[in-house]
A and B are shown apart, each in its own frame.
Chain A
Amino acid sequence: MKLFEYMGKELFAKYGIRVPRGRVVASAEEAAAAAAELGPPVVLKAQVLVGGRGKAGAVRFADSAAEAGTAAAEMLGREIKGCRVERVLIEEKLRIDRELYLSVAVDGGARRPILLASAHGGVDIEEVPEDRLVRYHVDPSVGVLPYVAREVTRRLGLSGNVAREVQRIIPAMYRIFCEKDAELVEINPLVVCGEEVLAADAKVTVDDEALFRQKDLPYVEERTAVERRAHELGLSYVELDGNISVMANGAGMTMATLDLIQAYGGRPANFLDAGGGTGEEATAQALELLLATGPRAIFINIFGGITRCDDVARAFVRVKESREIPVPVVIRLVGTNEEQALAILRAAGIEAFRNMEEAARKAVELAGGEG
C-alpha cells in the first residue's frame, strides 16, 4: 500500500524529520486560504500515487493566494496518469541549495534492508550512475547504529551541520521502515536550504501483508472495484486490457496461461489466480466475477493438486445452468479427480481440454484472434 505524499510527510514529522510547512486541500477556496496563511510563493502538488509528477504537470508554483486558488482548481478532479486528483498539498516554496537522495528498501536478493543514498537527488534514482550511489545493507537484527549514518554521510561527501542533520534523518527513516512495516521509505529530494535539511517529497510503501498490525495507518485504496471484489472472495486478481478472461490456479500457472494466450495472438483481460484448494463455491463466484467484466471468451486452466477438478467442473455446470453465458468458454482440467470432472462436463455437453497449449490456442481462436 502506497501512502500519499502528505501522509508520508505527516509520518516523517512524527519521527523528527523536517518537512516544509504545508496544508492539504480539496477545493480552490481552501487552496487560496492555505496559500495566504503559508505566505506566497507556494508550491502546489497533486496528491496522486504515480511517479514523475513534475513532468506530468502535477506540480505548480503560485505567487499569490488567488493564483494558488486558480492552480488548485485546475488540478483538482484532473486525471494524472490514470489517477484522479482529489487533494492538493500546498507548501512554502523553498530556497534550495542542493538536493540529496535517501531511501530504505527491502532487497529481496540479499534478504535484507538496503540503505541507498546519493548526493545527486531530485532525479529518478535509476538514472543516477552507480558510482554516485551509496549502498549499505543493514543487518535487520542489529538495525542502523549511528556509525552507519556517519559512514553514509562521509561517502556522500557531506560535512558540518548538513552531515549531522542527515545522520539524524537516516536512523529515523529506518525506524519508520521497521515500525510501519514499510517496503520502501524514500526521500527524493532531501533538500538543503542553508543550514536546514528537509524532506521535500515522501514516498512510503507499506507491506500489504502487514496491514493487519498497522491499524493506525490511513488506508489508501489503489485497486479497482473488480479487484476489490476479487480480494474479498480470496482471489488474486489484476485487471489487464485484453478481452480473454482467464481463471487459473497458482500465480506462476496463471502467468504462464496469460503468456500462452499472448503467444497465440490473443490478449488476456485479467490475471485471476483462484489459488490452491479452491472449492466449488469460490470457483462459481470467480466465474460470475469474470462474466461481469464482459469478456469475448473465458479460459479456465486448472491443474488440480489440492484443487479438485470435479469441484471446478461442478461449479461451472452450476453457473451455466443458472444463467446464460453469452461467450465461449474453454476449459482445461488436469489432475486430482480429473476423470470425474470430465464426466460431469461431458454430461453437460462440454468437452474439456487436457493439454494447456491446445486449450489456449482454442480460446484465442474463439475470441476472434486479435481485436
Chain B
Amino acid sequence: MVIGGILVITRKNAVHSALALIVALLAQASLYLMLYAPFVAGVQIILYAGGIMVLFLFVIMLVSIERSMKEKQFNSQWVVGTIAAVALGGLFIAVYAKGKNIFPEHALSVVEDTNTQEVAKLLYGQYMFAFEIASLLLLVAIIGAVVMAKKRI
C-alpha cells in the first residue's frame, strides 16, 4: 500500500496515479479484513475503488490533455512543501518515540461473524442523526457538482 501511495504522488501520467490509487485502496480493504472489519472492507471496495476512482478516471479522460504531460511535474513551491512534510514526519517520529509503550498486545476481543448486524445496530440506533445528516450532505454534494459542471446556469 505504501508502494501504491508513492506511485500516486510521483507518476507523471495521471492515469498511472489513478491506477496506483486503486491498488492502494484494494490493499487497504484487505487491511480492514485483517482488522476484523468486513463491512468497512466491502464498503471500501464498492464505494471507493468502484465509485470514486471511476469518477476520477472519467474526469481524467475529460480533462488531462497531452500538453499537461509534457510540462514540469512538480509545483513551484515544492521546496517549502517538502520541508513542511519533513517537519510533519519529524513530529510523527517524535510522537512515536515518546508514546510507543502505551499500546497493549491484542486482547483478542469477541470476533463474531455478525459484524454487519452490529454495525447496523450502531448506525441506526446511536448514530441515526449523523446518518441523516450524511444523506443530506450527499444531496447537497450532488446539487453542487451538477451546478459546478453545467455549461450555463
A and B from one complex: no
